[in-house]
């Protein structure tokens, strides 16, 4: 097992990519805090992990709420004695062209991705510095490297996370904290399922055409990235034993973006 007894907290882990990583981390021996806005899905993910013999706890928190994030991290430390891995994964999407985008929608997307990642980072680093090391991880996207129409706040936020990840890699080094960002292509989670009809409507094309000609057009094989693909990378980054791998963005996208 590659993460035996490591203590991990993952935001947005009630469903989708975060949940897949939480389940994989638990199978690799980690104690996993499933943090989510939605209590029912967090409880469900915890029950699924416990049913397979893993160790997990639910942390109900909104990543944009400063007090809630501080309290959520503190509850993990009180329960298990520390924090080794923190993954800022919670995310939302909003589809609109820039000229019609409401300021409130712009702010909401940036708030969850960027401010949420900052709040988790600050709370987690306090613990990791005391403990003498750790792994900060961020959920970026191919949209950390590329732009697509109709997704300006998301693209902006995902580009911004590269900066936070790199700044943390520099500051964290003397405390043996590494910082890396995972950049997936399209994965069929609820977040993406919702976009398919929305984009079809905005672009005036069929849903099949959105998948084939928009989402997967630039992949090498016309395939979606899978939850397993992303979870495997998340284990690799968290388990990597030295600062040889820090400040890096790793793209897992079936060749959509090559760097």
H-helix or E-strand spanning residue 136: strand 134-139
Site for ligand NAD in 4-43 (CB under 6 A): 11-12, 14-18, 36-38, 41
To ligand NAD, the closest distance from the beta carbon of 100 in angstroms equals: 21
103, 129, 138, 154: which one is catalytic?
Answer: 154
Please tell me whether residue 134 binds ligand NAD under the rule CB under 6 A: no
Q: Decide if 154 is catalytic.
A: yes
- Residue for token pair 């590329």: 146
Please tell me whether residue 237 binds ligand NAD under the rule CB under 6 A: no
Please tell me whether residue 229 binds ligand NAD under the rule CB under 6 A: no
- Residue for token pair 């805090």: 33
Q: What is the size of the binding site for ligand NAD (CB under 6 A)?
A: 29
Please tell me whether residue 45 binds ligand NAD under the rule CB under 6 A: no
- Residue for token pair 């929608």: 105
Residue 86 Cα to chain centre, angstroms: 10
Asked if 156 and 120 touch (Cβ cutoff 8 Å), the reply is no
Cα 11–231–77 angle (5° rounding)? 40
Please tell me whether residue 195 binds ligand NAD under the rule CB under 6 A: no
Concatenated DSSP letters of 8-33:
EEEETTTSHHHHHHHHHHHHTT-EEE
Does residue 240 sit in helix, strand or coil?
coil
To ligand NAD, the closest distance from the beta carbon of 173 in angstroms equals: 25
DSSP class of residue 63 equals T
DSSP class of residue 224 equals P
Candidates 56-64, 127-135, 165-173, 242-250; binding stretch for ligand NAD (CB under 6 A): 56-64
Dig out the tokens for 172 from the structure: 């964290």
Please tell me whether residue 234 binds ligand NAD under the rule CB under 6 A: no
Please tell me whether residue 179 binds ligand NAD under the rule CB under 6 A: no
Select from 119, 120, 177, 187 the one that contacts ligand NAD (CB under 6 A). 187
Any idea which residues carry the catalytic annotation?
154
- For ligand NAD, the binding residues (CB under 6 A) are 11-12, 14-18, 36-38, 41, 62-64, 89-92, 112, 116, 139, 141, 184, 186-187, 189-192
């Amino acid at each position: 097992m590659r993460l035996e007894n490591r203590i991990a907290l993952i935001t947005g882990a009630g469903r989708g990519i975060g949940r897949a990583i939480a389940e994989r981390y638990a199978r690799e021996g980690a104690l996993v805090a499933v943090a989510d806005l939605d209590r029912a899905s967090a409880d469900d993910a915890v029950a699924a992990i416990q049913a397979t013999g893993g160790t997990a706890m639910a942390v109900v928190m909104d990543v944009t709420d400063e007090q809630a994030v501080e309290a959520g991290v503190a509850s993990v430390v009180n329960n298990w004695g520390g924090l080794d891995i923190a993954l800022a994964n919670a995310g939302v999407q909003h589809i609109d062209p820039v000229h019609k985008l409401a300021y409130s929608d712009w702010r909401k997307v940036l708030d969850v991705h960027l401010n949420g990642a900052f709040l988790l980072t600050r709370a987690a680093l306090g613990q990791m510095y005391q403990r003498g090391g750790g792994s900060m991880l961020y959920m970026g996207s191919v949209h950390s490297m590329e732009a697509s129409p109709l997704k300006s706040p998301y693209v902006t936020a995902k580009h911004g996370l590269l900066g936070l990840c790199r700044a943390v890699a520099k500051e964290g080094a003397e405390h043996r904290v590494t910082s890396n960002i995972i950049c997936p292509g399209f994965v069929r989670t609820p977040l993406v399922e919702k976009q398919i009809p929305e984009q079809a409507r905005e672009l005036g094309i069929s849903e099949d055409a959105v998948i084939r000609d928009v989402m997967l057009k630039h992949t090498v094989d016309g395939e979606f990235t899978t939850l397993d693909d992303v979870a495997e990378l998340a284990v690799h980054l968290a388990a990597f034993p030295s600062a040889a791998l820090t400040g890096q963005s790793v793209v897992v996208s079936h060749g959509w973006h090559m760097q």
